[in-house]
Amino acid sequence: MTHRVLILCTGNCVRSQMAEGLLRHLGGAAYEVHSAGTRPNGYVSALAIEAMRELGLDISAHRSKSVSEFEGQHFDTVITVCDSAADDCPVFTGAPQLIHWSIWDPGAATGSHEEKLAAFRRVRDDLASRIRSFLAPR
């Protein structure tokens, strides 16, 4: 049986998109993974796409989605990756497992392209570590 996971953030353009790509890759066929935003930005960040490509993962075909697209659906696990999504998401409180990860938004990074990309890499690697822990046998 497939474990259904919904990853939520506010804009669904960086953290939740990277987490979706990572969990799909690391979890394989045992996981059906979706991501959404409470206030979707309507795009996936180019820097998120670039950071994920470095791992050989292509999220360029992902799209920014609203959490409303998933209302009424059952998920085994709902993971929020930003504080505002955790606060704004009462819809999925019936999921058997609710997880909150307070992840800094690398979209707030300043500086050169390389400095911004380094921030995206740090968040990507943090998400990968958390996802590996989530997938580890209990």
CATH number of 87's domain: 3.40.50.2300
* Per annotation, catalytic residue among 9, 48, 49, 128: 9
Q: Is 13 a residue of the active site?
A: no
66 class by beta-carbon count within 10 Å (0-12 exposed, 13-18 middle, 19+ buried): middle
* Per annotation, catalytic residue among 82, 123, 127, 131: 82
Q: Could you tell me which residue, 38 or 123, shows the higher pLDDT?
A: 123
pLDDT of amino acid 110:
96
Q: Is 89 a residue of the active site?
A: yes
In three-state secondary structure terms, 26 is: helix
pLDDT-based confidence at residue 83 (cuts at 50, 70, 90): confident
Is residue 82 over pLDDT 90? no
* Per annotation, catalytic residue among 6, 18, 89, 123: 89
Residue 45 backbone phi and psi in degrees, to 5:
-60, 135
* Residue 127 · residue 19 · CB < 8 Å: yes
**Structural domains of the chain, count:** 1
- Tell me the mean pLDDT in the region 5-22: 95
Residues 128, 74: Cα–Cα separation, whole Å: 24
For the chain, what percent of residues have pLDDT higher than 90? 80
Q: Which two tokens stand for residue 114?
A: 């390389």
| Structural domain boundaries enclosing 33 | 3-135
Is residue 46 over pLDDT 60? yes
